């Protein structure tokens, strides 16, 4: 849905999402774009919304954890997360899913090294990294299996 905002263009995107639009699935973590909890997609790119000024989002499409399952990749990633019981406390996981979805959209068959490179900025204090990696591989396989012509 289009959103019109007439306030401070320097305000971080995360503030608009959580405080004005009540899209609270995106989390505030470090506030310095260092932990990845606030990751959303700006057009198709994963970005840290806690440091992204609204002016940079003007005219662009923003996808949050609330909407990412409306894409085949986002849906496959979320289903993989549930299937493999990835979350522990869960706080970081919306950001993890957004980064994983952006990775799989660009690279449908990532190696472990690709995953490490793409997900390295998403911190999990519960150390669910092994399950995250397994879920990304699981989602990638699910998407490959669903391709037409197989």
Q: How far is the CB of 110 from ligand FES (least distance, A)?
A: 20
Alpha-carbon span 127 to 60, nearest angstrom: 33
Q: In this structure, what token pair is assigned to residue 71?
A: 């894409």
Q: Which of 47, 124, 139, 143 binds ligand FES (CB under 6 A)?
A: 124
Please choose, from the candidates 134, 141, 130, 62, the residue with its C-alpha nearest in 3D space to the C-alpha of residue 98.
62
Shortest distance, position 4 Cβ to ligand FES, whole Å:
34
Contact pattern for ligand FES over residues 67 through 106, marking x by CB under 6 A: --------------------xxxxxxx-------------
Residue in the block written with tokens 């019981």 = 85
What's the rounded Cα separation, in Å, for the pair 43 and 70? 14
Query: What would the two tokens of residue 52 be?
Result: 């992204």
Should residue 136 be labelled a site residue for ligand FES when binding is judged by CB under 6 A? no
Does residue 129 bind ligand FES (CB under 6 A)? no
- The neighbour count for residue 111, using CB atoms within 10 Å, is 10
Report the nearest approach of ligand FES to the CB of residue 87 (Å): 5
d(CA 13, CA 107): 26
Q: Residue 119, interface with ligand FES (CB under 6 A)?
A: no
Q: Which of 26, 99, 128, 142 binds ligand FES (CB under 6 A)?
A: 128
Q: Least CB distance from residue 31 to ligand FES, whole Å?
A: 16
Are 101 and 42 within 8 A, CB to CB?
A: no
Give me the residues that bind ligand FES (CB under 6 A), please.
87-93, 124-126, 128
């Amino acid at each position: 849905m289009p959103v019109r905002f007439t306030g401070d263009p320097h305000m971080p995107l995360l503030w608009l999402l959580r405080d004005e639009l009540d899209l609270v699935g995106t989390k505030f973590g470090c506030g310095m774009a260092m932990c990845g909890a606030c990751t959303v997609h700006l057009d198709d790119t994963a970005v840290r919304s806690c440091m992204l000024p609204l002016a940079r989002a003007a005219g662009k499409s923003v996808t949050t954890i609330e909407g990412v399952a409306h894409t085949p990749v986002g849906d496959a990633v979320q289903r993989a997360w549930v299937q493999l019981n990835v979350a522990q406390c869960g706080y970081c996981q919306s950001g993890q899913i957004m980064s994983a979805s952006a990775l799989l959209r660009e690279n449908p068959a990532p190696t472990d090294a690709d995953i490490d490179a793409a997900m390295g900025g998403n911190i999990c204090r519960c150390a669910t990294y092994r399950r995250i990696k397994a879920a990304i591989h699981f989602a990638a396989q699910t998407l490959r299996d669903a391709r037409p012509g197989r």
